[in-house]
Structure 1
Amino acid sequence: MARGISDQDVFEAADALLGRGERPTIERVRQELGRGSPNTVNRHLDAWWAALSDRIRGKSAESLPPPLVNLCRQLYEGMRDQAAVEARRVASEIESRLETDRRELEAQLSAVVVERAAVSSASDKFMQEISALRARTEELVEERAQLQAQIAELNAANRRAEASSQADKATLTTLQSQHMAEVQRIRAQWEGNETRWLKEIDHLRDEAKRARAQHEKEVRTLQERLRLADQSLAASLKEKGTLQTELARIDRSLQKEREARLRAEAAHAATRAVVSRLRPTSPRGGHPRPLKKPSAPPQ
């Protein structure tokens, strides 16, 4: 039956890898131990990383092996470079989103201009139709006046015929009958035309009402679309402000990261100076004695 691994096993394997100048990873620790599941190794390795700084601070400068110091420096520089790369990537994505939003806003503004032009064109067309209907109505009124003038002329001719045909009663009666028949015919024609004209005028009025209603409907629709476009524009401008605020926050985080790096480099330089002063020399003034490899810390 396979034996499980403890945190002590993972700590010793990670210390051995670090002593050889290798970065302890889940796979390397498993290879060092020859067993262990990735989840178990990962849990114990996280604890090892968390305790590493305390273990290093707990040791004197003389007991720190150079590979450990170099590896810690490399880990710090790697994390610093990775943070800078990530910050540049986020800034690039934000700039790309801002550019995309700008293009969309320009397209929406162009669509609004086109719609406004369409509304103006529809209004001009409606006014032209109204003018044509008004002209047609005036023509019908003029025709009606002409027919009424004709009837008046016939009535006058009838009266003159009655005055001039007293001598010939039969002729007058015949002429009167003819004139009356003609008047009735013209009157019937006029009444028929008047009815037709009234119907046509009513039809034209209905057409004008429908055209006006359609125009008002189209205007309301275009106004609604314009309102929605204005709302979309306001939302896009608000999102742009949010993105700019996020970019400013990232810039502040990068500034804090740079300040932390400078403080860490200053602390590292001070530590190296202390190590240089504390490093012992040989009794004959030769090369400094090598540091003893520290034993594994008690768990």
Structure 2
Amino acid sequence: MARTGVQYEDVQRAIESLMARGEAPSVQKIREVLGTGSFTTISDHLRDWRQRRAEKRDEPLSQAMPDSLTETLATVWKEAQSLANESLVHYRQEADKQTVEAREAEAQAQRRAEDAEQRLSALSEQLAQVQARLEERVQALATLTNEQEHWQQLQDKLEKRLTLAQEDIAAMERTREVDHERHQQAIQAQESEWKERLAQEEARHEASETRLMKMLDDARLEKSELDKQHRRRQEQLEKRVE
């Protein structure tokens, strides 16, 4: 049964309009003419129209001859009727073929519509899944963005601390260089002082050694003189004893 909306008469007028333009009626063309209606409803009305037309096509043609025509016209009428019957048979075959093709096309269209509905349902499910995954990705991205901002702030703080530490190290290095230079200067001054003191001590030592050597020489001379005196006294004593 056709759904309410587009009526059979509307479809019939659309079919007549198409046939007047020399176009074969189809569901798509009828809908284009009407500008509305579901494909199922139009397909049902088109099927009814084809059935009614097939029933009318099976009615036998009138064999009566007009009374006003002559025998010659009767002969012509019979020949025309024969040709018409032959054409009618051919038309019926073509119409039956078109009907079968139309029904097959309708079935295919119905199957395609069902497939399209199934694909649409599957796509809707996939779309819902994609949207859910997208929302998850968006939330994850927002979390990553917040974490990135946190780590960026931490990195900025660490870079500032590193800069301050480098400045402190540079200042300490400069201080160390100054202290080292002062220490070297102090060492050099101390070394100079020690060298001077050493030179003075060596000079005093040489002077003492000279005095000591002189004293030794004097002592030796005095001892020698005493030895001489002792020998002279010994000789004198020996002479006295004799």
| TM-score tier (shorter) | 0.3 to 0.5
Between 1 and 2, higher relative CO (CA 8 Å, sep ≥ 6) is seen in 1
TM-score by length of 1: 0.28
